[in-house]
Structure 1
Amino acid sequence: MTPTPQDLAGAVLTIDLVALKQNWQTLKARAGTAECGAAVKGNAYGLGIAPVAQALWEAGCRSFFVARPKEGEELRAILPEATIYVLDGLFAGQAEFYAKLDLCPALISSAEAREWAAFGRAYGRKLPCAIHVDTGINRLGFSAPEFEALLEDRFTMEGLNISLLMSHLACADDAPHPMNQRQGEAFAAIRSRLPGIAASLANSSGIFLGKGFTHDLVRPGIALYGGNPTPGEPNPMQAVALLEGTVLQLRDVAAGESVGYGATWTAARPSRIAILGAGYKDGVPRALSSRAADGPAQVFIAGRRCPVIGRISMDMMGVDVTDLAAGTVTRGTRGEILGRHIMIDEAAAWAGTISYELLTRLGSRSARLYTGLESDMTR
């Protein structure tokens, strides 16, 4: 009998594309009349650009956002009809690359706007683009004076086919933060300078700030993949990524004995320890290692949460299953490290990081399974 990939891997990562589609539908409904796009940068936040993009297209998504032009090239091969925006702008000297692939750069400076307009004239048509204006986050984008200068540069403006005006929120995940109101007002003023152009301000959390932030197009990212867009409140999104570790061995450990590198955890009682074949090479952060006492990190195994103990190493981790009934965990049992019972934001908090980092660092060694895709694009 030929073994499956999951039979040969200590860690198994299952991507639930039905949950992904449902998350997109939830966000679309929340956005009201605005179009709901999708941020699929970073290999769809680490979950695999081809199956994720195809699933989102099946759900009804038509506008996609990547960070780099190479990501745009990869996405265009998957979705030939999609609208694809490149958030990092127009890379110097690469206008032809964008044009041939019908990629829309989110222009962030006068130099980029002039280059794109000049290339369009030489190419024979005005090429679509977005204009990204900074409203306070101070990363990418035109400053307010630079934006005004662009509007006054008639020759450049006549060479641009602007399909979207956009900005980015700095504190959307903190709803009462005054920065949200300031950026919302600043963007409304900027939008009035380009009437008739579609506008986009809201990311995942921005969608939940209200109608004044959704405008014409929202561009969720982390919420699509199960991250909580409303921190401090119940998560309205479904878990998409399920990371499981397979039990390699069960060990009886006497009171006073330690487990793992550095002997950082010592059994306070006779204990039963499950060694799972999942470590930091598989995307389990070393920061989830227990700090002398049990936890705080946990694994859901045999129907209940059990504490992670000792240091997480490259290939394995220890879980205290002493309180489980005898025989409920055996060699080959899988324990949920991330999923519906251990949500991504909770695990990220245990590791002292955020859900974005946890997702994008999921290891390449895990067996990857995709469920819920209508077409045959699972690899």
Structure 2
Amino acid sequence: MFPPKAELMKYKIMVTTLLTAGRLVTGGIPQGHYSYLFVDEAGQAAETECIVPIAGLLTPQRCQVVLAGDPKQLGPTIMSRMAKNYGMDVSLLERLMRDINLYKSHQSHGFNDRFVTKLLRNYRSHPAILKIPNELFYEGELQPYAHAEKCNLYSTWECLPKKGFPLIFHGVAGTHERDNDSPSVYNMAEVEVLKEYLKALVHHHKKDRTRIKPGEIGIIAPYRKQVEKIQNALRMDKDLRKENLENILIGSVEQFQGKEFNVILVSAVRSNPKLTAHKQQFTLGFVDDEKRFNVAMTRAQALLIVIGDPRVLKADQIWNRFIHYCSKEGGYRGITVSEEEEEDTSMYTQQTSEESDSATAGSC
């Protein structure tokens, strides 16, 4: 049902999707009726979608447009390669900030605050989780304002390598695989490690006599097949299938943009110890994407666990920085990587075997 024009014009505030706003135009709402047009998540909207309400409802002398979003996170989802080649995967927000001097940051004066307002207070994440994305993508300007009671929920968790540092990178010497009927890849070694962390989290909640609620735990994997393998593993595992885990969201990075969870587990998937460092840079695929990395690492409020193969991931500058940070701060677990070890892949096989033997259900 679409109400008549006279009915719609009684409201001072109208909330619609970008494309539905076109109905306001075709329904006869006059230009200038609204004094402000706010576009939320403008960094993820295709430019053509963003223009729909602006083109039909904006009178420059009487109306102001506010684009709210983060150009450092995921942009528009565009399936057509041709559309990408013509720039359709860049949002209006990002293009303005990239190409138009008015919205660019001056080298010494920063942004003109008449045209760009930067929201610098982060009310989501523990400072340890926020640190690397802040330095890599936001010039260190973000200020941690998360409520201490919320972001310290897991600061004394028994599985943390270092208490007070709720961040873990767990190095796994696995191998990514691909089924004949699918181009998507998966890594069963990482699925097994992820299950053990999940059991430990379930045990933690049982001990506190609390249940896992929506928004408590999210699991991110960059490949659809890995998402399927994790979902199947939770259903098939004799310990986990008895638990009430339907509130755990398992999905790709795209499904997590704009969401937040107390705990985030990330499986990086890509792993191939026989590749040289030079070749690795061309095989990371989806994992080698700054915006996806930024979204994945900034969803957690109180605990972030990243599972991946450091031999491959360290070839990427951003992942290298993250892994080094976890190691330096005492949040690293799993296989050890050094220049000498890279020459001997048999060592990784041995370590992986030992690690699997020592893993027990619900243990750390």
Give the structure-2-normalised TM-score.
0.29
Higher share in strand = 1
Give the structure-1-normalised TM-score.
0.28
